[in-house]
């Protein structure tokens, strides 16, 4: 299926690895001009992608990213707000409401909510000036399934869901579609790296890191598929939402979570 993305300009944040890298590759394969945003360049970015180094904890960074995209390609048609997860220097999971302190909460919201809000604010005038575009915000299943683990992260993603719906309502008439993709646990280095989530949970569960990835985590999260989500599975949904083929889809949320979310 032709996603009609050839020649379109797409900004992807958090593009150096994991979901963001998979999204950048997929959009590039579909012919889009990809502006890949991350603090450092990933060695596996598509050859045609333009890497823009940016720390999205810096409030001025989103405007500079959008300006660079306009300078290089003349505009922006797609924004994928994928940057998120643990703020730089933070290891998750954290268990218990009282575990994160004031600074932890502020950093979590700065990285998972405010960076996306600033990217949206920076790109909207460009998109509306071109007659519209597509914004895809990468949220999390924990946004709608609260619990004592990573409560600050889930709260920030819940707020992102609210922003997505509100912006879709306000700017839909100007041709801007806004949708949300909510992954469950995705098999990225967030899980597998040294000191990552798999090792943290292994210490809590008395299991090996490998067992956590293969069995413990899928069981703990009651994943219907029995395994963690693959980054490409998320990227494929993002690409479809970015495409004009999804022209009547806006204000929607799509779970790509292996059956993690149980509620209607």
C-alpha 21 chain-centroid distance: 11
One domain, residues 65 and 125: yes
193 vs 241, which has greater pLDDT? 241
Is the pLDDT reported for residue 43 higher than 80? Answer: no
Tell me if 4 is assigned to some domain. no
Spell out the residues 6+ positions from residue 202 whose beta carbon is closer than 8 angstroms to its own: 208, 209, 211, 212, 216
Mean pLDDT of the chain: 95
- Residues taking part in catalysis: 153
Tell me the pLDDT band of 253, cut-offs 50, 70 and 90. Answer: very high
Tell me the pLDDT band of 132, cut-offs 50, 70 and 90. Answer: very high
One domain, residues 87 and 174: yes
One domain, residues 220 and 193: yes
163 vs 146, which has greater pLDDT? 163
Question: What is the rounded average pLDDT of the residues 213-225?
Answer: 92
State the SS3 of 25-45: HHHHHCCCEEEEEECCCCCCC
Identify any residues that bridge with 203 across adjacent strands, giving them in sequence order: none
Question: What is the rounded average pLDDT of the residues 117-126?
Answer: 98
Tell me if 3 is assigned to some domain. no
Give 230's DSSP letter: P
Question: What is the rounded average pLDDT of the residues 169-191?
Answer: 95
- 231/155 Cα distance (integer angstroms): 23
Q: Give me 115's structure tokens.
A: 């960076």
Q: Give me 218's structure tokens.
A: 């899928």
One domain, residues 222 and 122: no
Q: Crossing angle of helices 61-73/115-129, nearest 10°?
A: 30
Domain that holds residue 204: 187-228
Q: Give pTM, 2 decimals.
A: 0.95
One domain, residues 99 and 215: no
Handedness of CA 117, 243, 55, 129 (dihedral sign): negative
One domain, residues 214 and 102: no
One domain, residues 130 and 234: yes
One domain, residues 236 and 173: yes
């Amino acid at each position: 299926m032709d996603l009609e993305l050839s020649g379109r300009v797409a900004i992807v944040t958090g593009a150096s690895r994991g979901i963001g890298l998979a999204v950048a590759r997929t959009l590039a394969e579909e012919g889009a001009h990809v502006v890949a945003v991350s603090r450092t360049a990933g060695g596996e970015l598509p050859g045609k992608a333009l890497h823009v180094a940016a720390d999205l904890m810096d409030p001025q960074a989103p405007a500079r990213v959008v300006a660079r995209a306009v300078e290089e390609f003349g505009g922006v048609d797609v924004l994928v707000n994928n940057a998120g997860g643990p703020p730089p220097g933070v290891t998750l999971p954290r268990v218990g409401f009282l575990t994160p302190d004031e600074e932890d909460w502020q950093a979590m919201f700065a990285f998972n909510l405010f960076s996306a809000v600033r990217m949206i604010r920076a790109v909207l005038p460009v998109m509306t000036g071109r007659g519209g575009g597509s914004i895809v915000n990468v949220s999390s299943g924990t946004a709608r399934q609260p619990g004592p683990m990573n409560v600050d992260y889930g709260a920030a993603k819940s707020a992102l869901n609210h922003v997505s719906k509100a912006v879709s309502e306000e700017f839909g008439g100007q041709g801007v579609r806004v949708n949300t993709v909510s992954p469950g646990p995705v098999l990225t280095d967030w899980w597998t790296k040294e000191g990552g989530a798999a090792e943290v949970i292994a210490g809590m569960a008395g299991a090996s890191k490998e067992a956590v990835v293969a069995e413990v985590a899928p069981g703990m999260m009651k994943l219907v598929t029995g395994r963690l989500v693959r980054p490409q599975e998320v990227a494929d949904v993002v690409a479809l939402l970015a495409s004009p083929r999804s022209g009547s889809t806006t204000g929607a949320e799509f779970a790509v979570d292996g059956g993690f979310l149980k509620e209607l």
